[in-house]
Amino acid sequence: MKAESGPNRFVVSPAKSILIIDLSVVAIVSVLLVVMPINFSIKCLFIALLASYCLITCRSFKQAENSEFCYLPSINKWEFDGKQASLRKQQFVTRNLMVLYFLTNNGEKLSQIISIDSMQKKQHIRLRKLIIAWSKTPNRDG
């Protein structure tokens, strides 16, 4: 695959959109629990569970670190968080979301979910183009 000129290093930060979706689901389920005719003690139990899930989700988002990967065109490999890997045959790429599946040299399977708000727009577009160009290569690894 012929790589475009320019940087092939991509930094992915935690996506705020995924956090918002999680918290929205918590809010909807909480409202449904309050409205439904269920025993009060069961409602309290499930609302407490939802509140703990909400706290864990927020804490995980705050503590999440950026991940970094880089395409190495000279050897047609990727470096994912310091581990050399190759892309597997099937990738999921849309305008706003990419799910990349990697396979390390040890046989470890890694995946990375990249929403449009987890990196700069130009980087997101560049990565999308790179993945699509790679997918059209007949002798790709995987």
d(CA 135, CA 40): 54
Residues of the chain scoring pLDDT < 70: 1-7, 138-142
User: Which pLDDT value is given to residue 27?
Assistant: 95
Q: List the structure tokens of 119.
A: 């990196």
3-state SS, residue 111: strand
- Residue 90 is classified by DSSP as -
| 114, 133 Cβ separation under 8 angstroms | no
**pLDDT confidence of residue 73:** 81
What are 21-50's pLDDT values in tens digits? Answer: 999 999 999 999 999 998 999 999 999 999
SS3 101: strand
Rounded to two decimals, what is the model's pTM? 0.73
DSSP labels for 8-25? Answer: -EEEEPPPHHHHHHHHHH
End-to-end, the C-alpha distance of the chain in Å comes to: 14
